[in-house]
Structure 1
Amino acid sequence: MASSDKAPRLALPEFSLKDRVVLVTGAARGLGLVQAEALLEAGATVYALDRLPEPSPDFTRVQKRAAEELGTSFEYRQIDVRDVPQLNEVVKAISDQHGRLDGLIAAAGIQQETSALDYTAKDANTMFEVNITGVFMAAQAAAKQMIRWGRGGSIVLIASMSGTVANRGLICPAYNASKAGVLQLGRNLASEWGEHGIRVNTLSPGYIVTAMVEALFEQYPDRRRDWPTQNMLGKLSEPREYRGAAVFLISDASSFMTGSDLRIDGGHCAW
Structure 2
Amino acid sequence: MFPRGLARACPRYISPLLQQTTRTTPTIDRPIDAAPITQFRRIHQSPKRLSAPPTARGKLLPEFSLEGKVILVSGGARGVGLTQAEGLLEAGAVVHALDVLPVPDDSSDFARVVSRAKNELGTSLTYHRVNVRDEKALNEIVGAIANETGHIDGLIAAAGIQQETPAIEYSAADADKMLGVNVTGVFMTAQAVARQMIERKQTGSLVLIASMSGTVANRGLICPAYNASKAAVIQLARNLAAEWGEHGIRVNTISPGYIVTAMTAGLFEAYPERKTAWPDANMLKRLSYPEEYRGAAVFLLSEASSFMTGADLRIDGGHCAW
Q: Deviations over 1:33-55 (max 9, x none)?
A: 11100000000000000001111
Question: What letter matches 1:163 in structure 2?
Answer: G
Instruction: Give the corresponding residue for 1:27.
Output: 76
Alpha-carbon distance in structure 1 between the residues aligned to 2:73 and 2:59: 26
The corresponding residue for 1:146 is: 197
Task: Provide Cα deviations, 1:105-160, integer angstroms capped at 9, x if missing partner.
Answer: 00000000000000000000000000000000000000001112212100000000
CA distance in 1, matches of 2:263, 2:55: 45
> TM-score, structure 1 length as denominator?
0.97
Match status 1:178 vs 2:178: no
1:66 matched residue in structure 2: 117
> Could you tell me how far apart the structure 1 residues matched to 2:196 and 2:65 are?
21
Match of 1:49 among 95, 98, 101: 98
Identity, % of aligned positions: 68
Structure 2 distance, partners of 1:10, 1:96, is 34
Matched letter for residue 202 of structure 2: R
Question: In structure 1, what is the Cα distance between the partners aligned to 2:99 and 2:275?
Answer: 29
2:127 to 76, 80, 90: 76
**Distance between the aligned counterparts of 1:166 and 1:7, measured in 2?**
49
1:105 aligns with 156
Greater mean alpha carbon deviation, residues 105-114 or residues 218-227: 218-227
Q: Which residue of 2 aligns with 1:120?
A: 171
Shift of 1:10: 3.9
Q: Using the TM superposition, name which of 186-195 and 56-65 deviates more.
A: 56-65
**SS where residue 262 of structure 1 aligns?**
strand
Instruction: Report which structure shows greater RCO (CA 8 Å, sep ≥6).
Output: 2
Deviation at 1:7, TM superposition (A): 4.1
Tell me the TM-score normalized by structure 2: 0.82
Q: CA RMSD in A?
A: 1.1
Equivalent residue of 2:168, what SS? coil
Are residues 1:202 and 2:253 paired?
yes
Partner of 2:15: none
Q: Number of paired residues?
A: 267
Moved over 6 A (4+): none
Specify the SS of the correspondent of 1:245: helix
Distance 1:217 1:81 in 2: 29
1:230 has 2:281 as partner: yes
Gaps of 5+ in 1: 1-5
Once the two structures are overlaid, the 10-residue window that deviates more, 167-176 or 209-218, is: 209-218
